[in-house]
Amino acid sequence: MNKTLPEVTITEKDLKAGAYYRAKKPRKMYDGGFNDRRILWISADREKVQYDSPTVGNGRHYPTVPTERFLKWVGKEITKEDYIDTSVGVSK
């Protein structure tokens, strides 16, 4: 019997600066990791989120997006180890 875990929806209140997040539909990157994001800053009114990601090129400004747009992208919170682990394997 194959059981799947219920999908958890992340809300605006769940977002934390310094936390790592994986996309609903993760994409593999050139280094073997995923297009995960780490929140650097959340505005005081929680309307904007600034993040870092392997997709941000060297020398570029960190993107700032509306929180609603970030929430459409996010699938789940992950650990720092998941973020930096580029080994091939099953996602936790």
Q: In CATH, what number is assigned to the domain containing residue 29?
A: 2.30.30
Residue 91 lies in a domain: no
The residue with tokens 């990791």 is 33
pLDDT digits (tens, 9 = 90+) for 3-14: 554 567 899 999
> Residue 56: which domain range?
12-84
pLDDT digits (tens, 9 = 90+) for 22-69: 999 888 877 777 889 999 999 999 999 999 998 888 999 999 999 999
Residue 76: its pLDDT value, please? 92
Band of residue 86 on the pLDDT scale cut at 50, 70, 90: low
Residue 59: its pLDDT value, please? 92
Residue 41 lies in a domain: yes
Residue 4 lies in a domain: no
Q: Which of 72, 91, 74 is nearest to 37 (CA)?
A: 74
Instruction: Provide the number of structural domains found in the chain.
Output: 1
Cβ-count burial 54-66 (b if 16+ within 10 Å, e if not): beeeeeeeebeee
Residue 30 lies in a domain: yes
Round the CA-based radius of gyration of the chain to a whole number and report it: 14
Residue 16 lies in a domain: yes
